Structure formats: structure tokens, C-alpha cells
A = this chain, B = another copy of it.
């Protein structure tokens, strides 16, 4: 299928001279505004002032004027909105997220439009390993022309698998040429330090486009953090303690404080509010929200509210989700402030300590009122290429998961992935017995088999290893929604169930499956890129709950078992990971086999 040329709102406006001329006319009083907001207390993120009795003139999608008197822009057809003295803030920005969190962008937006978020910057690496640049473009088309702006960073593909590693230069160049691509996505620090030759050419190309290099420096400090900064990285959303924030601010990073479904770091970090350091490079982000958490808590309004509740001054908290992040991405000429030429993205609050917008405007249109969304997210039909990404050569069988003994002795010393927390792992060594030439595992002792199966590059290539700490006592648990990878991952106590789970995912064209004793206990089809559902959020939430329940019945008590499984392939979280080539020790980037 030919790639449709994407046209986002962002792209079109920027090139439109007539729009600029019209804005100038409106500001000058030669043409009426479409909307004028009067009697606002404008939160000026540039100066930090609250400007009382301020007016804002809007023409089309953009702001023409802000000042003490907007009467010159009011014509017979101008919609006058009296803010009655309430605070008017810029639309909120999520500067780092993963919008493909189980649901389509459309479904995500259904719960994201009412709270004042008007710009999202998302990672979009998921399609790249399994559907290439066509998949990325298909996703970008889904993100375009929505009621709010969804911008993105190009896939950096810092992957533990050599097959998935990096983005092709031509692909990156074409993405960076698009206005809505703001930079290169998060490039996990260890991969960059270990394989600079693999990634620095992409960094240079990105800088040539005058776009940003997004970072991820979890656990890096001192010399290594400096080396990472020297590579040109300018953001990090991984600090979990105030000292880590300050270390990064001092090196010039924009530090994105994460408050979302991966982790909630804001409360611990909020101690820096009394440290005396400047907050101009401090940013609030979600780093991804599950459908359940989004619908329960809301979006950026919830995060800004929490920052205020944690003691940040309201103006500072608002800047962390507006001007600061817009400056980081070099888009403060278009978003992040209420000023002439910017998109008319803004929200009226009940008061400065209450981030519960009574009115939300995006691109000059009212998209929400009193917490009720008035805008409709655009739906998108993903291409067949995007929906057929589980390309295994055939059905798997139990024997595909057997591990042959390699020596005459009965005892084999093997490497095992051990979960230290629900996400952090380490290498453990164990002695296993062989029986009939096959290594034996003991699920009773919480030792499982785990397999990584390539579904895109050389479909069917696989590595079988061992996993400790999941808690699964029987059956199998598999997912295609793995991070930074084209691999399916399946963990199991039983080889036949492992084959069943993978075969079911193949039938579904992607998904999460729990099975036991030959029966599917729960499943969530994820047919788009093998990563997201095409079902409504509510359905997905129910499926997720059913999966958690089924897994609990099999002994798994982790916070979010699907996330645990999905992250076993990523270079983002320490220390010991798996891909179709084997284990990978993130400390040195080396690939390792099962046997010591």
C-alpha cells in the first residue's frame, strides 16, 4: 500500500502566510476576532505574572492578541467569552509519553480531552520493528488532525536485539523533515555509551535538523552521565530522587518528572522545591498512562495538580507543563504560552490551585466544558500491513520449548533472569538437572521457561531461557506487546501451554494470552502492530483485569504482570534482558547463552 502523505495541523499552519496576515490584521483591529476572552486572569508563563482583566483574541486556530483591552477585535459575530476573573492558563503539554498503551490513539483521546491537555509528545517506536516506516507513517496518520496536537519523536531503536537496532538513515531523515516530529526518541544511555558508532550518526542527523535528542539515563551518574550529556542528549525522564534531578539539571538536561503508569516519581522529587535551583528546565510528563489510570485520574491536569499539592507554586507547576517543555522542543513559538501567533490552546480554571478546567480551547475551538469533552477524536483505519505483524512460519509445539542438555553430566549451570522488583532484573546462576537429555524446570520453586521469538526479521527465530520471580505456578503467559523489539515473549511452567499461548497470539495477530492445561484463561487481542487493541478502552480494561485475575489464580502477584513481561526485552530497565539472540547483560551490552 502506498504511504499516504501525512498532513498535520501543525504542518499546514506553519506554512500559511495568509493565516499570519489575518492574525496581524486582527491584532491591529482591522478585522474582528472569532473569539475574544475577556476579564481573564492571564497566567503569563514568560514573566510569571498573573495579569488581571486581560483579554485574548483568537482567529481561526491561533492567538492574535493578548493585552489589557480586546474591545477593538470584537465584531458582530465575535464569540465573547467572559472569564469572570478566573485564571486562564496555556493548554497543558505532555512532553514524554507512549500513546500506544493498549488502546488506539482515538480511544486514548476519549479520556484525554477534557482536562486541559492540548499537546502530546509521544514515542512512536512500536511500529518500526514490525511494520517499518510504513507502519510509523500509518501511526502518524492516526495521530494527525485530532482535536489536540499529537507530536512525536522518531524511533531511536536502542534495542538489545541487533536486528531491531537503530533506524535507517533515510527513514530518520524523512521523519525529521516532518514538522510534527520533534526529535529522536529516548535513547537509553547504556546502549549509547556501549555502541556509539551505532547511534551517533542518527544523533548527528537529528541535530542537523535542529531537533532534540531525548534521553533516558536511569541510574547513570558522574562520569557516565557526563559522557551521555556529551553525546548531545538533552532530556531525561528517569530521575526518581531529588539528587538525580539536580545532577541532571546542572548538566543542562531538561528533567522530566514522571508521574504515570510506569512510575510515579513526583512526590519524592518535589523535595527539590526548596533547594533553590532554578526550575526553568523542569518538566512534568506521564511517560505513558494505562487506560484505567487515565480514566480514573485524568491526564496532565492531574499531574500539575499533584505538583501543586506537593508544594510547588502554581505558576511554576503550570510552567513545567507548558513553556518549559515547549522551549525544550523548540516549539515555544507555537505552543506553551498564551501569546500572539501561538495556537489558541488554553484553559480557564476555577482558581490557581485547582487544575480542573471549566473551559478548554484547542486550536481555537472549545473542546471541553466543566470536565465534559465536546470534541470527537478522529478514528483511523490502520493498514493491513500494520495489522499483520505476527508473521511466524507456522504453529509452535511443546517440543520447541524444550532445552536439550549439552553435556554428559546430569547437572548444568545455567543463567536465569531473576526479577528483583516487578521491572528490574538481574542475572542469576543456577544448577539444573537434565532428564532424558532435557533440562528440567521446577515451577514450584518459581522457575519458569521464557522464550523470545522473532516475529518480523527472521520470523520464528527463538531463544529459550529461564525466568525466576514471576510466580506463575502452571500454564503460560505470552505477549506480543514487547518494548523496543520485534519479539513475542512467552513465559511458562508448561511447554504445551507455551506453544498454545504463542499460537493463540498468532491467530489474534497479536495480543496478551494466559493459558493453563490446554485452555485459554484470558486474552487481550492486540491486532494493531501486535501492540494495541482495536477495542474501546472499557473492553480493554476488562480484558486487562481478566488477565490479571487469571494470572493471580496461577500464582502471579505482581502489580502489572503484562508490563513485567513486556519490559523483559527492553534496554531501558536494568539489568538482564532477553531477545531472540539470547540473554543480554545491559551493563556491558553482551549477548549471553543459557549455559555458563
Contacts and interface: CB of A to CB of B under 8 A. Distances in A.
A15 B208 contact: yes
A521 interface: no
B278 A48 contact: yes
Contact of A27 (B24, B46, B62, B223): B223
**Copies of this chain assembled into the complex:** 2
Contacts of A252: 46, 332-333, 337, 339-340, 342
Interface string A363-407: 000000000000000000000000000000000000000000000
A207 to B, nearest CB: 6
Contact of A226 (B196, B277, B340): B340
Interface stretch (A63-71, A128-136, A422-430, A527-535): A63-71
Interface string A187-231: 000000100110011011001111100000000001110111111
Interface residues of A, number: 68
A29 B223 contact: yes
Interface string A558-585: 0000000000000000000000000000
Contacts of A210: 209-211, 330
Contacts of A281: 46
A280 interface: yes
B223 A47 contact: no
B227 A27 contact: yes
A246 interface: yes
A234 interface: yes
A510 interface: no
B20 A203 contact: yes
| Most chain B CB within a 10 A radius of its CB, from A17, A226, A246, A250 | A226
Contact of A24 (B230, B250, B251, B332): B230
29 contacts: A14-B207, A17-B196, A17-B197, A17-B200, A20-B200, A20-B204, A20-B230, A21-B196, A23-B227, A28-B226, A29-B223, A46-B251, A46-B278, A47-B249, A48-B276, A49-B276, A64-B227, A65-B230, A66-B250, A67-B223, A67-B226, A229-B340, A230-B340, A230-B341, A251-B340, A252-B332, A252-B340, A280-B280, A330-B330
